[in-house]
Structure 1
């Protein structure tokens, strides 16, 4: 047992000495962080919408919710939304007790919910579609997310800009000290992200009349901002 412990101790000492030796052998470095950003117009919008029905019986709640959901799907297809861009994301059916007599087992009503995620690729028809889904049965819109189809292409562009930014920072720092930037010693890519920045002119429409009164689109897609970050170490010459 003592022999094993001694071997482990010797191994740890050797590892520490090697690490110290590597640190001592590091060349003079300048380490910087680069940021790249690409702003693009969104090409599609993802809408999370829902149907909620409250009825006295379980079957009535389920039937009415399914009926409204089917009407929404049919409407979306008529508006040119592809079937593969319509997905049911959440379904629930439950009894609701609002209080009353102690020990009462019969629910006051049954609540049925069905949520769908819809991708609309014709942005100029977004307002019309949003208005129409309320007419055919939707009573909730949980979120609107503007995005681009070919996100990876813009991530690559943002990454290139981040590398250029890092090089420019390194050159600026070393030139102030009369030195020059040499070859890259190490590079590490940080997180890349693409996020929507929608700008809202009014609140989310709750009925078709709101769209008619506005006299035009009520929601602007804004920009999708794609960012990349890199950490780079250059050898100082």
Structure 2
């Protein structure tokens, strides 16, 4: 056992010495992080909505919820929403009991919930579609997310800006010390944490139809795509 531990220790020391030797042979480097940001107007909106039903029996709650969900899907299709842009995301049925009654075993009623996500590709149809949805059974809206259709295009643009920003930073740092930026030694794209995000012009994230003047109920604002790159340049 002692011999095995000794061999393992020798292997560890040898590996550490190799890493140290490799690091000591590195050329003079300047390492920076470049940031790239692109702001674009959203082209579509993703809405999380659903229907919640309460009935005396489980079967009645389930059937009523299914009926309303079918009406919602039919309404969306009639208003130009492609079936591929409608996705059921959550289904549940549960009993509801009276509060404060110890030992009760029979539920007062049953609650059925079915939610779905809907992608509306025409922003100018958003208010009209949402208003009609309330009329066919929607009684809950859980979220609204603005996004752009061609995300990869804008990611590429943000990536180019990040690389240019990295070179600019490296040039400033080296020029202050009388040196020059050489070729790229290493480059790595890093995550920004939250990815593309909406920047709202108005503090409205609920899908509600406006009661004032019949104008638009929400402002799409901007979608911000941010990328960063870590770059090491050889110093000449």
Give the alignment's TM-score, normalised by structure 1. Answer: 0.92
Per the TM alignment, residue 129 of structure 1 is displaced from its structure 2 partner at its CA by 0.9
C-alpha distance in 1 between matches for 2:223 and 2:90: 27
1:86-113 alpha-carbon deviations (Å, 9 max, x no partner): 1111111111002254322111111011
Per the TM alignment, residue 198 of structure 1 is displaced from its structure 2 partner at its CA by 3.3
Structure 2 residue aligned with 1:195: 197
C-alpha distance in 2 between matches for 1:13 and 1:203: 57
CA RMSD, Structure 1 to Structure 2 (Å): 1.8
C-alpha distance in 2 between matches for 1:189 and 1:87: 32
Per the TM alignment, residue 205 of structure 1 is displaced from its structure 2 partner at its CA by 5.3
C-alpha distance in 2 between matches for 1:109 and 1:200: 40
Contact 2:143 2:206 in 1 (8 A): no
Aligned length: 234
Change (3 A) 1:18 1:100: closer
Per the TM alignment, residue 5 of structure 1 is displaced from its structure 2 partner at its CA by 3.6
Per the TM alignment, residue 63 of structure 1 is displaced from its structure 2 partner at its CA by 1.8
Structure 2 residue aligned with 1:222: 221
Change (3 A) 1:225 1:93: same
Per the TM alignment, residue 202 of structure 1 is displaced from its structure 2 partner at its CA by 5.5
Contact 1:146 1:198 in 2 (8 A): no
1:41-88 alpha-carbon deviations (Å, 9 max, x no partner): 111110000101111122221122112111111111111001111111
Structure 1 residue aligned with 2:94: 94
Contact 1:201 1:218 in 2 (8 A): no
C-alpha distance in 1 between matches for 2:67 and 2:87: 16
Is 1:62 paired with 2:62?
yes
In the alignment, structure 1 segments of 5+ residues that lack a partner are: none
Is 1:204 paired with 2:201?
no
Q: Mean alpha-carbon deviation: is it higher for 116-125 or for 10-19?
A: 10-19
Per the TM alignment, residue 199 of structure 1 is displaced from its structure 2 partner at its CA by 3.5
Q: Mean alpha-carbon deviation: is it higher for 178-187 or for 102-111?
A: 102-111
1:22-58 alpha-carbon deviations (Å, 9 max, x no partner): 2221221111100001111111110000101111122
Contact 2:199 2:222 in 1 (8 A): yes
SS at match of 1:214: coil
Structure 1 residue aligned with 2:235: 236
Per the TM alignment, residue 3 of structure 1 is displaced from its structure 2 partner at its CA by 4.2
In the alignment, structure 2 segments of 5+ residues that lack a partner are: none
Per the TM alignment, residue 165 of structure 1 is displaced from its structure 2 partner at its CA by 0.2
Change (3 A) 1:234 1:101: closer
